[in-house]
Structure 1
Amino acid sequence: MKTSNRHYDAQIINQLGSGYAIYNDGPYNTSRSTKTRDANGSNYRDDYVRVMQTKTTKTGSYVKLRYFNKYLGWMHIHGIKPTSFKNVAQGTMQNAGFLGSVALIPAGGTTPTVINTGYASITNKLSNSSDGTVVYPLASLQKAITGVIIEQLISQRKIAANTQLSKYYPQVANSKQITIKQLLSMTSGISNSEQFPRQSLNEQQAVDLAIKVMKVNLHPGYHYSDDNFVLLAGIIAKVTGKSYMSNVETRIFSKAGMHESILVEDKPIHLTNKLAESYTLKGKANYMDPNVLSFPRASAIVGAGNILTTPTDYLKFVLSLQNGVILTKQQYQQFLSYGSHYSGGLFVSRPGEVYNNGSFSGQGYHTGYDSSKNNYHVAVVFSNQSPLRNNLSQGDFVYLMYQIAADY
């Protein structure tokens, strides 16, 4: 009688008892033989779906449902209730026991959907937020910022991808066989153990400590190591004649409009009332083992984890990678070409996507970023409690939020 092609988000409801069946062939053939194995919708009870089409017949209205990128079939419209994209994201976060702040772009544009859950400080009743009242350790997502500055210097011909590390740090073992490209792609053979200095280090002290403790494999393959990007931070300072901090502030923060981002440096900073606390989920108990990131610990990984920021501020950086503010599209493509698995601070092994995750061992902080290469769908996820429910890893949760941005 009538067909509508309007798309909208919904939640499957009313599936207790007999429920509403899901049919393969829609409202024109609803015999028992056409039903899916989910005869009463119970397999998808309370799940979020995307309505792709509505058809009305003399027996009622039926909707064609997609669950993420999988088509389920047709269900009577009484089996669903319309909902918003924000509710889909928030419900998924709550189901996972997630605490933190998330910024999502579901279909292009520059204004994100921001969802916050839980407390940044349970004692002070300070809620998690992305408006600048709370900051989070950026952890390894910072590596892309360092990689972008290196890409800018390469484009300015102040350095080359095949420049040897020995030009800047000849004291590093095998430095004549290590190139800037290998540092950017984590194929230098460098490995390190995390350092926990008692006092905050300045940039030079952080680089010196990394060189002192790092090891170099003479037969390198891909190996993830913070010290690749600690060295790149030092190289940025040597090439420009300005500190790494100064380069980040002028080349990244200022241009992208990142006004809530802070570099942990050797000068004392007092952010205990602004830095989100780290928590542990134990069974069903939230907010266990409260503690905060050690600034000396962060200062030791300059260029690789010494920034505090918010999801929306980091999203500004992400969106600036391709629009000419920080990198041109050509520079961005080159930035992603230094390795087939990892390049410039991002993993590039998923076709059409770039992503990264960051954390500090022994603490509940986790940061994640996943995006289509054209930034049409983006998820930036900052958490201050681990683990998640149902044995869901933090990295998988970031990917789940990206899938929500892509499919809802």
Structure 2
Amino acid sequence: MSNHAVQAKSYSNKQLRQYTLKMMKKHHLRGSIEIVKNGHAQRISLGYGYYSKRLKNGNTKLLYPVGSLQKMVTAAIITQLIYQKKFNQNTKISRWYPNLKHANQITVGQLMTHTSGINVIGTESNHGVNFSENGAINWTIAQANARENTGRSKFNYNNANYVLLAGIISKVTGKSYAANVKQRVIRPLKLKQTYIYQQIPRSKTDAISYLYSGGKNYSASAYANRNVVSQLPGAGNLFSTANDYYKIQSGMQNGKILTKKQFHYLGHLSSKVNTYSGGFYLKKNQTLKVAYGNFGDTHFVNWMQLTTDNQNGIVMFLNQTYGSKNHIRAIGYNILKHIKANTFIKG
């Protein structure tokens, strides 16, 4: 065993904090990272989340777009409804979307595993409309009908699948998707920094994203555009923090959102064709859950890699990035190696 491996195993929580800050500074990353070691969670924040207002990352006023990490929340609510016997993973979505092309051949589970063949382009582009929830769902249906299906049972990652799942949640419960998130996720976990975008109170503000460019921090500022956010109920309209998102992950197994049995169901849907199921990837013999998110035309990056028991790992919410997606993941992996050696993966 190398000296590095021995050292990595022995990192204390204080050493982890120092090492994470060192890595963030060295690679010009800004944001918040929730580090979890043996069930102990701590947040490391660096830099400004809103530079012009001098609001530092970690400030309770700041919220960050969750991006694709929201899909796991949407899938968990669908799982709740399945366990309430409202429908099952094999229910055809024509029950709710009779005007959607091929809906009588697409199942709820296929939406949850991106194997529906639905292929909507431009879900993260600004189309100049601030949509209501129903408006976004109708727009998604129209766009799906205008394009060819890429083939059911093949993995094709597309935000439209989860927008349609948000619509199913609303149609089945008779309440908006936003109301369901508040009732089923935010309130049970007593989250104080998690909101659907349209419900962010005036006392809070969404963060600004930046690039490290030309030797300078806080360049090329970009924020989540409200029109784009409005297009993505269920797939990109949730704002939160790394700390709150870790609480959501814990809630996926402690009974506050899902039980362990229900979480296992979520990760093992019958329509899955790779390691993706219900908003996340199960990796390394199902010992790790991994999800990556960003937000179109901004510099926000979110990355989660946790052991499936939520005892070790990181939740990374960055608002300033530098380098490629793989470069950022590599930095995260270096931190993970110091949390627990021989446990995590690079991807």
TM-score normalised per structure 1: 0.76
Return the structure number with greater strand share.
1
Separation of aligned partners in 2, 1:395 and 1:143 = 20
Instruction: Give how far 1:198 is off.
Output: 2.2
Find the counterpart in structure 1 of residue 298 from structure 2. Answer: 363
Separation of aligned partners in 1, 2:327 and 2:141 = 32
Find the counterpart in structure 2 of residue 183 from structure 1. Answer: 111
Give SS of 1:217's match: coil
Separation of aligned partners in 2, 1:272 and 1:210 = 32
Amino acid at match of 2:143: V
2:339 counterpart of 1:405: yes
Instruction: Give how far 1:392 is off.
Output: 5.0
Match of 2:219 among 274, 288, 296: 288
Amino acid at match of 2:173: T
Give SS of 1:260's match: coil
Amino acid at match of 1:305: G
Separation of aligned partners in 1, 2:62 and 2:336 = 23
Match of 1:345 among 276, 279, 282: 279
Find the counterpart in structure 1 of residue 136 from structure 2. Answer: 206
* Residues 189 and 401 (structure 1), Cα distance of their counterparts in 2 relative to 1, 3 Å cut: farther
Quote the sequence identity (%): 29
Unaligned runs of 5+ in 1: 1-23, 25-35, 37-43, 51-64, 70-81
Find the counterpart in structure 2 of residue 160 from structure 1. Answer: 88
Amino acid at match of 1:259: K
Give SS of 1:190's match: coil
Instruction: Give how far 1:276 is off.
Output: 1.2
Instruction: Give how far 1:341 is off.
Output: 1.8
Instruction: Give how far 1:94 is off.
Output: 1.8
> Is the 1:96–1:392 contact (alpha carbons within 8 Å) kept by the matching residues of 2?
no
Q: RMSD of the TM alignment (CA)?
A: 2.6
Find the counterpart in structure 2 of residue 9 from structure 1. Answer: none
Give SS of 2:34's match: strand
TM-score normalised per structure 2: 0.88
Match of 2:160 among 227, 233, 236: 227
Separation of aligned partners in 2, 1:311 and 1:296 = 24
> Is the 2:63–2:204 contact (alpha carbons within 8 Å) kept by the matching residues of 1?
no
Find the counterpart in structure 2 of residue 263 from structure 1. Answer: 196
Separation of aligned partners in 1, 2:73 and 2:216 = 36
Separation of aligned partners in 1, 2:263 and 2:173 = 21
Separation of aligned partners in 1, 2:229 and 2:309 = 31
Amino acid at match of 2:276: Y
Unaligned runs of 5+ in 2: 343-347
Q: Name the structure, 1 or 2, with higher relative contact order (CA <8 Å, separation 6+).
A: 2
Separation of aligned partners in 1, 2:231 and 2:19 = 39
Match of 2:43 among 95, 114, 126: 114
Separation of aligned partners in 1, 2:328 and 2:98 = 38
Q: Deviations over 1:66-99 (max 9, x none)?
A: 4579xxxxxxxxxxxx962211222122222211
> Is the 2:8–2:340 contact (alpha carbons within 8 Å) kept by the matching residues of 1?
no
Question: In terms of Rg, which structure is larger?
Answer: 1
> Is the 2:209–2:221 contact (alpha carbons within 8 Å) kept by the matching residues of 1?
yes
Instruction: Give how far 1:258 is off.
Output: 1.3
Find the counterpart in structure 2 of residue 57 from structure 1. Answer: none
2:57 counterpart of 1:139: no
* Residues 397 and 271 (structure 1), Cα distance of their counterparts in 2 relative to 1, 3 Å cut: farther
Instruction: Give how far 1:328 is off.
Output: 0.9
Instruction: Give how far 1:357 is off.
Output: 0.9
Give SS of 2:62's match: coil
Instruction: Give how far 1:212 is off.
Output: 1.2
* Residues 295 and 350 (structure 1), Cα distance of their counterparts in 2 relative to 1, 3 Å cut: farther
Which 10-residue stretch deviates more, 115-124 or 144-153? 115-124
Amino acid at match of 2:327: S
Give SS of 1:151's match: helix
Instruction: Give how far 1:283 is off.
Output: 3.6
Find the counterpart in structure 1 of residue 97 from structure 2. Answer: 169
Separation of aligned partners in 2, 1:178 and 1:330 = 25
